[in-house]
Amino acid sequence: MMRTNEEQKIHTSVLLQEVLDILDPQPGQHIVDGTANGGGHTFALLEKVLPDGKILAIDKDCDLIENLKSNVKGQLSNVIPVCDNYANMAGIIAEHHFEPVGGMLLDLGYSSYHLSRSGRGFSFQNDEPLLMRYETDTHLGTGLTAREVVNSFPEEELADILYRYGQERLSRRIAKAICAARKIAKIETSRQLADIVSGAYPKRLYWKTNPATKTFQALRIFVNRELDDLSRALPQAVDALMQGGKLAVISFHSLEDKIVKEFFREQARKGVVSLITKKPIVPTREEISENPRARSAKLRACIKL
């Protein structure tokens, strides 16, 4: 049931113990992992609900779900892997007769696998086809790719995407550079795009992060409709929970965190939930040193009344 050493190197789950402490999964419970990713949280939750509990493990990346299936061959009566968008969770839960739901986790954004091994252009450090799509099954999304966006969208719309989803202050300058570059040659790879963005950035503004970081974030969020999916999923998540059921959400940037925070507060005002976290839980220095990706993580949670 445990993951191999190679798989553990690929993906390290963020705020794992904090999630377990909050959800406090019990033997026999039904828990939904809406974003299974590399399966780290899934396996940890599974160990707590055995022998009779079940985990509904959802991910829109079918490659990750196939990997999860191969790792839980002996536990398929306890783990239900589903390749779908977590924004469709109401239908997924109904289809698999998974009620009552005692707890749910949403670990947002990409996994280490997407950066290092997917070959889909998520990382500006690799030279890969500029896709940036989580879905490998096109019926789950729009089919839009980052390559399409940077090669065909008008300059003004490109700038708006970079500013809105990446909070990139140099959005117009970068969009102009992208449009100038694509007139010479089509932008096909992540490395090409990263070089264009870096060339548009004044060297005095180079900080600790790569100049392409915000541009890649913006394109990834836009292509995968990440914020729309989150806004659709949160009401379904609360509706699915039994009384006393808990929802935990890990976000990785301020746009996601704002949506979660405002939704939780609205539901608390209506008396639907009670906030478990008044302020978000963040990783310890030790966790950040071991897993730098954790540095921007924020965990918020609520309990259904």
41 is in an annotated binding site: yes
Q: How far is CA 152 from CA 47, 145, 161, 185, in A?
A: 48, 11, 13, 12
Helix 171-184 crosses helix 155-166 at what angle (to 10 degrees)? Answer: 130
Q: Is 107 marked within a binding site?
A: yes
114 is an annotated ligand-binding site residue:
yes
Q: Which residues pair with 248 in a beta bridge?
A: 105, 301
What gap in Å lies between CA 145 and CA 143, rounded to an integer?
A: 6
Contact 128, 190 (CB under 8 A): yes
Per-residue tokens: 236: 């379904």
In DSSP terms, which residues pair with 32 in a beta bridge? 56, 104
Rounded Cα–Cα distance for residues 235 and 267 (Å): 9
36: number of CA atoms within 13 Å, CB side? 31
- Euclidean distance between CA atoms 184 and 180, whole angstroms: 7
- 10: its two tokens: 């690929």
Residue 86 labeled ligand binder: yes
According to the annotation, is 40 in a ligand binding site? yes
Q: Token digits for 208? A: 């600790």
Q: Binding site for S-adenosyl-L-methionine: what residues are annotated?
A: 39-41, 59, 86, 107, 114
* Binding site listing: 39-41, 59, 86, 107, 114
